[in-house]
Structure 1
Amino acid sequence: MAISGVINTNTSTLNTLDALNGTQGGLDTYLQQLSTGKRINSPADNPADYAIAQRFQTQINGLNQAIANGNQGVSLVQTATGAVQNQINLLQQIRTTAVQAANASNTTSDRQALQGVVSELLAQVQTIATQTQFNGQNLLDGTFAGTAFQVGANSNQIINAAVGNAQTSAMGDHIPAVSPYSDSYGCNGSFVSGGFAPGGAFTITPAQTSAYFTFSGGSYDFYIFRGLQNGGEIGSKIKVTLTGNPPDTQELNKMAAAISSAGIKISGTTQLVNGTPVLKLTYPANDKDISFSGPPYVTSGSYDYNSQTNEITVTLPDSAPHLNSLLSAVNQNVVSVTKTGSSTQLTYPASGQRYAFIEDSNITQNPPIINSSSGSITYTQNNGGSAMAPDSTGMFQEVHIENDAFSSRGTLITSNTPASEAIIPPNTYYGSFSSGTGSSGLSIQGPFGSAQVDVNTETESAASITTAVNAVSQQTGVKARAYTSASFLVATGSYTFTLSNGSSGLPRNAVNISASVNNAANGQPNLNALLTAVNQHTAVTGIAASSRVINGKPELILTNANGENINISAGLANGQLASTALAAGSTGSLQAVSGSTQALIGYPINSGSHAALIQGAVQFASASAYRINNGDMIGFSSQVSRLQSGSALADIDVSTQEGAQRTITIVDQALNYLNQQASELGATQTRIQVSVVNDQSSATNMQSAQSTVQDASIAQATSQLTKYQILQQAGISTLAQENALQQAYLKLLPSG
């Protein structure tokens, strides 16, 4: 290479400086890596890897916070769980006390003392519910619901948590309401204190007589009457339109509801017989009949008086009821009858007016209202002997049912049927329940799921239905208990009858009862002989007799604690109940009553009355709400069950034997509720803890992944640093040599 000898521009020096700058940059990079431990310290180092490392950091930060959240959540859940466990322990003590109070060995003062203990324990249960807090938040009063623990680094990575309301007013036994349309407890029986009250858990037949009908679709306008034993009648107007042919049970329920709510003590329920919807009408057993009659009918037409001919012309629609009767009434005086379209024109002498609309006949209940100025006439016709209003388009028919099948059919009732043919004589049916199987039976929609329960016969016992309910309780979360207890006012006189238990109308374990009841010194019947006669056979029948005094009147209480039927009959005939209740010659009489007012249920049971079949109450029990579809089949509403007065934990009272028995059931359901809460809290805690462990594992793995992308290799960085340090030293040395050459050129200049 030729030596240029240029001193203005030192190209070699500049090249060396460039090399030194590059060396310095590398040296700075590896010094920073060694000082920070990171290979990437800024986006300039590696934009793509920098972005990846930051995303990892975002996840790592979120996971670390989620771990902290989870640990706090575990602490919160443990706080709630501990409080619930304390409530469970208190309820166990309350239940033990209730079992003690239910024993007959306790006196009234004993039970009052036990109630004092229960009240104190119950107050502490409530205190725990209202004062258990975490970070200032109440946990057990129902406000900590719909919450979520953030246990992940990203949105919606949560664990939902809800702690139920553990206040005493929110826990207890959910029970269904008694159906207002049922033949059972609301009409012909008693359901006091949820069916736990002695003498208040029964329905009795034949306290009523039943009739069955099939209906077509169409409009219905009629009066329904009960023929009373004393010769009078009571009735109400019914106007309903049914769709479908035939209407399904839901549609037919419109007719059942209209009749049940009419206030004349006729109840209507629906059921399926061989797939056909049937309306069952039930009314008191001693009624003579039920009957149907069309309502009064108002007809309007035009009216014209011709003063020149002294004739009246009335134009009426052809749809006017009893038009033929009207024609006949004025026939002798009719001048002309003219048909125009859908109208009929009558012209007759004015002197025949009084014959045309005869008062107190089938034609009119009052003289016509004539408005000469407007030329109109209006008159009200009575039913004219028809069973329904003339414009009714539906039809219905009485049917007879045996073994869940139609055995025969009665009169088909239409708007043209004479009212004299629409009288239904009494048919005595035993059993207050309605039968139905499969989809036509009971459908229990509980907190766990749904299941069907069959009611095989109208006379099925509460015990039998309870067995069926409990058989599917694992599917529904709803259990049941059966209890039969009926109270009676007892007249003085002699009593001879057969007492039996059983189900589905089949009497079992029959025994003969004979006793006389006389007045005691206080003027009230002395029931001791009757009580003794019944209780001598309790081991056979399962029926126990007791007594109580309400409003100064003694009551006989017959109880089957297992919920089987109680039958009172004048013996048995071919394995069935005899037709009458007390044997011939018995002079006494029993009258079923309900509640503290001793409301009369049905009619007296004596030697002239039908045999009595007494069915018990099904006591449904669940810690959560549920629904019993078709519940009116056995006396209950199909509305969602709820905590009713007396069924909440706050209402428990062991100061009476009845209250102690009910307390056991209520506390059992409260315990079920709290046990479920504790289980759910335990499951929530487990989920949170597993999530925390998973978050820790994820954070560790992400930190490892981030290290792979971001962290520096110390060995490599040290090696590179040494390399650049050597290069730097070499560059400086080279730069010095380059500068020395430039200085050498100066020696060529002459000295001054």
Structure 2
Amino acid sequence: MALSIASNASALMAASAASSANRDMDVSMERLATGKRVNSASDDAAGVSTISRMNSQVRGLNQAIENASQGQSMAATAEGAMVEVESMLQRMRELSVQSVNDTLNSNDRSNLNDEVDQLKQEIDRVVSATAFNGTALLDGSGDFDLQLGANAGQTMNFKVGNLSTTALGTSLSGAASTASTSNSASGTAAVETVAQMAFNGNDTYEFDLEVGDGAGGTTTLSIAGADVAGGSASDVADKINTAIGAAVTAGSMAAGSVEAKANGNVISITNNMGDSVSVSGFSSDGNGTASYSSVSGAGSSLLLDDAGATTSLSNTGGGGVTNAAGTLTLEAGKDYNFTVNGNNISVSNLGTDTTEDELLAELKLAIGEGAAGSAVSGQVFTLEDSSGKNIEITNFDAAASEAGSAGSMSMTIRTDSAFATPSNTFAQGGSDTSDIGAGAIVQLQFSESEGDYSLDLGGESFTVATASAGDSLQEAIGATRDAINANTQINGNITARVVDGKLEIENKSLAAVTLDNFGATGKAAEVAGAATFGSTNMVTAQNASTNNGVEATPSETTMRFSEDDTYSFKVGGAQVTAQVSDGNLDNMVAAVNSQSNITGIEASLSNGDLLLTNASGGAINLTDFSSEGTGSATAATAAGQGGSATLTDTNAVTGASTAAAGVATATTMELSMDTTDDVSFQISDGRTNSVVRLTSFDTTDNSAMLAEVQSALSQSGSNITASVTSATSAITLTNSLGGEVELSNFKSDGAGVMTASPASEQGVGKMLDDTGTGASQSAVAAIDISSSSGATSALDALDRAIETIGKERANLGAVMNRLDSTISNLTNVSVNTEAAKGRIEDADFATESTNMTKSKILAQASTSILAQANASKQGVLSLLQG
């Protein structure tokens, strides 16, 4: 044998054996640790797939066992309720037997019937309330599938009949359909959608009204030339109803689906279908608007106005200091004593040649400065104390009077202070000049109705042309107003109006405007000559004291803001910007009051609104309104101080809508015949009764019956319509309003039977037969034991009802027993499948323990041999050393 060291075969063999023994030992230890023979697909590739399938089957079987147990509970719940229903039926039968006996009088039977009625109500309550996990059990809708296997299709079905009093007693079988001569169905009634339009102003209006039909469609009605007169909108309602009638005739709307009613200036539009209502294209011939609101159904309240955005409102003033006036008539040759403002006035030496101007001049001297003449006519004088003091006439039979100088113009100024600025009188040839203060209003009155006047306003010249133009004084003043407002140099700051025959000028700017260069021509320029008096004045004043005039009535404007937003506007020309948050107006009050030293307008809160007050009675002008969002403000002046407006910076609003309040679920009932026969019956929608005359109902061609039904419904104005589809010979009755569809008094010439089938959950299908026994089988709901004959009939109905309950209970008992067997079988299959899976998947501890011991021994032995094999080559060293 050769001696070599290049290859140590024995060591390699020992190392391989050690590795194999360790690997086998790892496998055994894993299986012993997990208890499973198959821990990965490499352990048993085919076994892994089998184990997965068996695992699904076992888990499915266990759930099926749970399903069966739940099914038993459901059946037990229904059966328990049936026990109570049967108990009540037995009591009702007991009472019926008692009522048949003639030892009872009518009162006794009525008392017994009262208990029967209560029991019927309780049966219906039990039927409606009995449910399992929210599913009704006894109302006839019960059609239940139980999954009783691990795989699809492994189900069991059972049904529970309708046990309500309307079904019990009608058939021994307890089926949903039974012979009768009447039947009814009822869907979900519509919730009326109601919108209102309140018309603001007598005007002629136009708009389009669009209404939903409850089935996804809409109809548009064009309303034109609708008048609101005398605060009544009846013409608007009439035109809407006329348009509705035309649409009904055209077939685009159902009769009674929409109606309009008027109450004063408000019309109510009702969509009985419960669908939407909307208005668009709103306009008025004048300035009329309409407030749209949703009464029933979601929608916004809007002001319909075909005008543009409204950003300003002017309060004309509550009344600044006013000028008192009166009339005084004096006769020549008489002396007078009277009191003016507490001053004792004496008039004497009055002759026929005394002129009005002479007397007026003396009166002015007696009363004091500030009186201005404004009119003279014969011996009648009009007195006006333009300083704002009362002219109180006492101890005299006539009223006070006042006269003015010929060819003059008097000016009364309303300022922001509590005291009126004294009036100024402009005369021909004078050099009077007056400033109209910022925000002030002045009134100019001309003394003569014949002649021309000229004046400069803000540096612009204007003429009141009475004589040269041939106009009346009022026409001339109106022309001057128009000229001032049309002047582009001043119309941004100055506005002219005609008020009570006077030319009123309002300065909207923040600076004073000058009024000067007054002149008069023609008759207006004639100045009265100086009065010539005798040794004694005609008028003397014995008391120089005066009284205050009428104090200013504060101007007031309220502002109500529509929503939280940031608002900007000008008050009296001063800019105000503030935020309204959570309806709080404190910021707005502070912003307005910060400008009070400029505007004279103060803000406060009043019933949740912003109240603007000008204590002097001057105007409150709101301009340049805007908001960052969609907010608007309703501004209203105090009574007699102007109007109101909704301030908004948005464009004109010409449309609004109200969402559907609750669309009806149409009620339908299908009518079919088992054979061709001549039949008659009645159809009711709960409001009308339609009589269908004896007509052939052909099972192959029902056109004659359809025409008769449609004619009967049309003549009675019923809400029900009739139709037929090509796919069936049945006639379908539809109440689109979701109301009742009731069929009654069915009669046939032959033995034909009609089936009346309501839609799902709208009623119970019945066979209508006036010849069979089924027609006489009344339901428990119809029994009445207040008479002996009624009690006798009740016994038959109750016997059938008790029999029905018995059959239903027997059916449920069979179901529960079947489920017991199902559970036992499923348990057996599950256990055996689990055992089979265990034989594949589980580890054999005896075998694995033996394998692990063997592997340990082999691992130790191979390690020892490997050491010896490595040491066997040490002899080569001895040979080399020798």
State the TM bucket, normalised to the shorter chain: 0.3 to 0.5
TM-score, with length taken from structure 2: 0.33
TM-score, with length taken from structure 1: 0.38
Of structures 1 and 2, the larger Rg is shown by 2
